[in-house]
């Protein structure tokens, strides 16, 4: 099932390698060793295989796509999502659902990644005109934070 999620993320411009880069950024300084990219990829695929994670990804991307296409009946909230208004916050709440599966380290990592926005997370956040990744940047942040939490617990 995780391959479906890999393809869905890819269709929105996010490669697993981009997420591994974010984990590497987050892990810098925590462990003295360079990140084991193969192990990190396995951790990410395990995260993507969880049903709750799949549902969060599908929901977030569906909302982004609906906002892009102007399909919301409620134009006020559509506009808030398209503009990625800083006080909206529902996108982060959906992403917490992923972090909650991986303990408090995942939650604190998520807060950090959300502030710093490394790599692909920053690129999604600065989405071009016509693209909306209001939910996806947080979902990728949560997957990154959860993968880093998994590797911390495995150390």
Neighbours of 109 (CB within 10 A): 25
Q: Which of residues 6-35 bind Mg ion (CB under 5 A)?
A: none
Q: Are 81 and 88 in contact (CB under 8 A)?
A: yes
**Which listed residue (18, 21, 78, 91) binds Mg ion by CB under 5 A?**
91
∠ CA 87-90-94 to the nearest 5 degrees?
145
In whole angstroms, how close is the CB of 48 to Mg ion at the nearest point?
19
Q: Which is nearer to Mg ion, 43 or 141 (CB)?
A: 141
- Would you report the helix, strand and coil content of the chain in percent, each value rounded to 5? 75, 0, 25
Q: Which region among 12-20, 22-30, 38-46, 129-137 touches Mg ion (by CB under 5 A)?
A: 129-137
Instruction: Rule CB under 5 A: choose which of 18, 27, 114, 138 binds Mg ion.
Output: 138
Q: Does 64 interact with Mg ion (rule: CB under 5 A)?
A: no
Dihedral angle at the C-alpha atoms of 108, 134, 25, 99, nearest 10 degrees?
Answer: 30
Which window, 30-38, 102-110, 135-143, 146-154, contacts Mg ion (CB under 5 A)? 135-143
């Amino acid at each position: 099932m995780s391959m479906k999620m890999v393809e869905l993320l890819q269709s929105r411009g996010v490669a697993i390698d981009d997420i591994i880069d974010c984990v590497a950024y987050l892990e810098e300084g925590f462990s003295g060793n360079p990140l084991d990219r193969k192990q990190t990829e396995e951790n990410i695929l395990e995260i993507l295989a969880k049903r709750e994670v799949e549902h969060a990804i599908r929901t977030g991307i569906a909302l982004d796509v609906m906002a892009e296409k102007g399909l919301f009946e409620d134009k006020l909230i559509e506009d808030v999502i398209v503009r990625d208004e800083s006080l909206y916050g529902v996108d982060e709440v959906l992403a917490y659902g992923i972090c909650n599966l991986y303990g408090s380290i995942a939650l604190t990592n998520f807060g950090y990644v959300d502030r710093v926005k490394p790599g692909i997370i920053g690129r999604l956040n600065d989405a071009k005109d016509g693209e909306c990744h209001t939910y996806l940047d947080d979902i990728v942040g949560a997957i990154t934070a959860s993968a880093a939490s998994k590797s911390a617990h495995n150390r």
